[in-house]
Amino acid sequence: MTERRFPAAAWATAFRGIAWRETLRFVQQRGRFLAALVRPLVWLFIFAAGFRAVLGLSITPPYQTYVLYEVYVTPGLVAMIQLFNGMQSSLSMVYDRETGAMRTLLVSPFPRWFLLGSKLMAGVIVSIIQAYAFLAIAWFWDIRPPAWGYVAVLPALVLSGLMLGALGLFLSSAIRQLENFAGVMNFVIFPMFFASSALYPLWRMQESSPLLHDICAANPFTYAVELIRFALYLEMNWPAFGVVAGCLAVFFGAAVFMYDPAKGLWARRKERG
């Protein structure tokens, strides 16, 4: 029997089980939900309100008119939720590995790519719940994209969430201990967020520093932000879609490689006994 011999219902059951566990853990960690919401809201209510007065924005696609800075920054903050969630998943993987819970997952008879992919998708579902909660609050702050934009943004959130989650998954394979997670904050989350189009349009970057502009243009997070921004305003940004999909394939492939028993992380680990 090969892995293909599992009935479809068994694959669905395994995925549901992994998604259910992630959701259950998320629901039990109310502080995590609040933190995930408060972070972008602080940016929206305080940072964006302050910058509104000093930062002028010209009409740039997908916007048809001049928009307030709060409107501009909202898709970036949605992507920020997914970025933090992806790194949170990475933290959770390292924690699971340290406590031994990871082994329970990896000794399942289902193939490892499927187990990791299911865990990734489960994390994305959680991030999408957070993103919509943020968008709902932002609506009361007069940030109101077209009604269908809330529907159109869903596939963009899935794709960008998968890419950022896959990056987190890959990083989790390289992080040896929970204590090293601070390094991820300093070297991954902050640079990715600030060196992107989440807070300022790329043409603004070009004006102040061409080098910084190039760095932002090479940052996959920029494309996640733009994919979400365009989808929220019922437009498709194909270059952003291509970059996000490509990065997803690369990050997920690297994560599967690192978790392969014959290669990567597990092949290097040595335990006593």
Partner 1 sequence: MDALRITGLSHHFGSTQALDDVSLTVPRGSFTALLGVNGAGKTTLFSLVTRLYSNVSGSIEVAGFDLRRQPAQAMARLGVVFQSRALDADLSVAQNLAYHAALHGIGRRAARARIAQVLAQVGLEERAGDRVSALSGGQQRRAEIARALIHSPDLLLLDEATVGLDVKSRAEVLALTRRLIASGGVSALWATHILDEIQGDDDLVILHKGRVLSSGKTAAIAGPSGLTQTFLSLTGAAA
Please report, as ranges, the residues that interact with partner 1 according to CB under 8 A: 1-3, 5-7, 9-11, 13-14, 16-18, 20-21, 24-25, 28, 99-101, 103-111, 115, 260-262, 266-273
CB of 170 to partner 1, least distance (A): 19
State in angstroms the smallest separation of the CB of 1 from partner 1: 5
User: What is the closest distance, in whole angstroms, from the C-beta atom of residue 137 to partner 1 in the complex?
Assistant: 28
Residue 150 or 266: which CB sits closer to partner 1? Answer: 266
Residue type, 40: P
- Least Å distance, CB 22 to partner 1, is 10
Cβ proximity to partner 1, 47 vs 266, nearer residue = 266
- Residue closer to partner 1 (CB basis): 211 or 272: 272
CB atoms within 10 A of CB 197: 27
Q: How far is the CB of 268 from partner 1 (least distance, A)?
A: 8
Q: How far is the CB of 80 from partner 1 (least distance, A)?
A: 27
Residue among 92 and 237 whose Cβ is closer to partner 1: 92
The answer to whether residues 231 and 156 touch, using CB atoms and an 8 Å cutoff, is yes
Q: Which is nearer to partner 1, 19 or 159 (CB)?
A: 19
The DSSP-derived string for the chain is --GGGS-HHHHHHHHHHHHHHHHHHHHH-HHHHHHHHHHHHHIIIIIHHHHHTT------TT-SS---HHHHHHHHHHHHHHHHHHHHHHHHHHHHHHHTHHHHHHTSSS-HHHHHHHHHHHHHHHHHHHHHHHHHHHHHTT----TTHHHHHHHHHHHHHHHHHHHHHHHHHH--SGGGHHHHIIIIIHHHHHTSTTTS-HHHHHHH-HHHHHHHHH-HHHHHHHHHHHHHTT---HHHHHHHHHHHHHHHHHHHHHT-TTSHHHHH-----
| C-beta neighbour count of 16 within 10 angstroms | 12
Which residue lies nearer to partner 1 by CB, 2 or 65? 2
Give the residue with the Cβ less far from partner 1, 20 or 190.
Answer: 20
Supply the minimum distance, in Å, between the C-beta of residue 127 and partner 1. Answer: 20
